[in-house]
Amino acid sequence: MGDRLTIKDIYIAINPLPAALSAKGKTEPEVALHLEANAGISILLTWRKRHSVHSYDREYKTFFGDSFDHALEKAAAFIGELPSEKQARLHDFMASLGKLIDAGKSDGIDIDYMNPLIDTMKRLSENVITFQPGKTP
């Protein structure tokens, strides 16, 4: 964007970022630009944690740069590399299921209750490993 950015230029550049985060399944996304004397420039991305009941329970990611363009490139690349909403939900579910299985094992829950959960986790893991976007089985 060059060295002489206006506030309008900055808004035009960052305004699409919340929508891009929403498209990746992030809830209540916010994007902020920070200028700090003697420190540089950063772009802060934040969104509500999945399944959180509190609006203040958020995830944060900050991108620092020597220039606005540099920080913006980092933030946009991060968003682009995020998994799709569907993939993120599956990974979150698998993480929760894994924690549940670990808790059941450590609490000595009867194996008859654990086996269906373990089998489900194995099937999910196999599907994730063999999944190739864009290809039909």
39, 89: one domain: no
102, 66: one domain: no
Q: What percent of the chain has pLDDT over 90?
A: 47
Q: Alpha carbon 61 to chain centroid distance?
A: 9
77, 89: one domain: no
32, 18: one domain: yes
Domains of the chain: total: 2
The predicted model scores a pTM of 0.72
15, 62: one domain: yes
Instruction: Tell which of 81, 106, 122 closes a domain.
Output: 81
Domain assignment of residue 135, yes or no: no
Paired tokens of 16: 């699409």
21, 73: one domain: yes
Domain assignment of residue 136, yes or no: no
13, 70: one domain: yes
Single-letter code of the amino acid located at 80? G
Range of the domain at 122: 85-130
73, 105: one domain: no
pLDDT at 38: 82
Domain assignment of residue 103, yes or no: yes
pLDDT at 5 over 80: yes
Domain assignment of residue 1, yes or no: no
What gap in Å lies between CA 75 and CA 17, rounded to an integer?
8
The string of pLDDT tens digits covering residues 73-95 is 999 999 999 999 988 888 888 88
Residues listed for the chain: 137
Comparing CA positions, the residue from 106, 105, 101, 104 lying closest to residue 121 is 101
Most confident of 10-14, 84-88, 113-117: 10-14
pLDDT at 15 over 50: yes
